[in-house]
Structure 1
């Protein structure tokens, strides 16, 4: 599978974009750890990761990495090309999540868990804006969605909903935590990304003028 790097990456903004990507991916993993520690339900993929960890052993972060790598393999028949951000997504998220879980004790009081959940969702929206805004490649799961959209002609909304519901159902069946946090994430993440992404996106290069 060839690694794709946008042509604009050769510009002087590449160091900034790489730093923004690294910050976004790290904070995304931290946000996942915060939501998991709240024990009120995570996003559908994390419900799956948690269920896999409970049944097959290993840390939740390890399964974030394993599932990300497996999803990336599905890009091959879809003829998707990963970017630097795609590979970084696979390598960084799980490690950052496990580091957060190792440093943050599990709270018991609901008065602590609710703000923890809210902080995790807010940070997730910010982190998404950072790593997508760096324009260095989508995450494996987002790339799977866009690849299926391109190959099948089905709407992005339909494919995204189908993927999310499928992994959520499998995660619940495996014992992953599903709850108010899952619903809160589903309702809040779209508006949050819409808020942060335009403010954090690195401007695309202007087209090169052609002399006549």
Structure 2
């Protein structure tokens, strides 16, 4: 029972933290992370929200991940992207009202905090081993196909998204570069350390 509680808290709490980190990187106004720049760019050119596009892009990635790993689509990942999409819209629309931060110093601080929060949240929710965000599942799929570590796999995934974001006119800037090249190493740093703290398998014993 204890292990189930730890997994549930890791999953929902981690996704909430991830969504908050994503929101901060967007509102910093220095260029969003590659995947978020893609979602923002698509949202700016359609009637759908950023959170909606998180869900739509996630659905596409579920299919791509299945093809890369030659396995069945992880349908329950839909739960993950639905939660994340609605959390992001909650922060962006209802809490911050889509208001960008101003002042270069503050923007840089908000961006860096957002990156750290995002990586930390991802490292938490992945410990639950329930359903990965399709973006993170894409990272693991790349690792599986190419045989590289998490840091390199994440960076490759970010570069793929960066190209797509550029095509749709997403908010790309210096912040995008920071997110692209810092998020992988930060997840590589946080993941094993968070795992030691949230050892739900040990809780079963």
| Both structures adopt the same fold (TM-score exceeding 0.5) | yes
The Cα of 1:141 is off from its aligned counterpart by: 2.3
CA distance in 2, matches of 1:196, 1:33: 20
The Cα of 1:33 is off from its aligned counterpart by: 0.8
CA distance in 2, matches of 1:148, 1:119: 27
Pairing 1:60–2:50 present: yes
Larger Rg: 1
Select between 154-163 and 12-21 the one with higher mean Cα deviation.
154-163
Pairing 1:47–2:3 present: no
Residues 154, 111 of structure 1: alpha-carbon distance in 2 compared, 3 angstrom cutoff: closer
CA distance in 1, matches of 2:123, 2:191: 4
Name whichever structure is richer in helix by fraction: 2
CA offset digits 1:68-120 (Å, max 9, x no partner) = 12211334443145385x33421111111111112123222223211111111
Of the three residues 89, 92, 98, the one matched with 1:101 is 92
Quick check: 1:83–1:136 contact (8 Å CA) kept in 2? no
Select between 130-139 and 42-51 the one with higher mean Cα deviation.
130-139
Quick check: 1:54–1:174 contact (8 Å CA) kept in 2? no
2:146 is paired with a residue of what secondary structure?
A: coil
CA distance in 2, matches of 1:58, 1:37: 18
How many matched pairs?
Answer: 193
2:31 is paired with a residue of what secondary structure?
A: coil
TM-score by length of 1: 0.79
Root-mean-square deviation (Å): 2.5
Quick check: 1:145–1:156 contact (8 Å CA) kept in 2? no
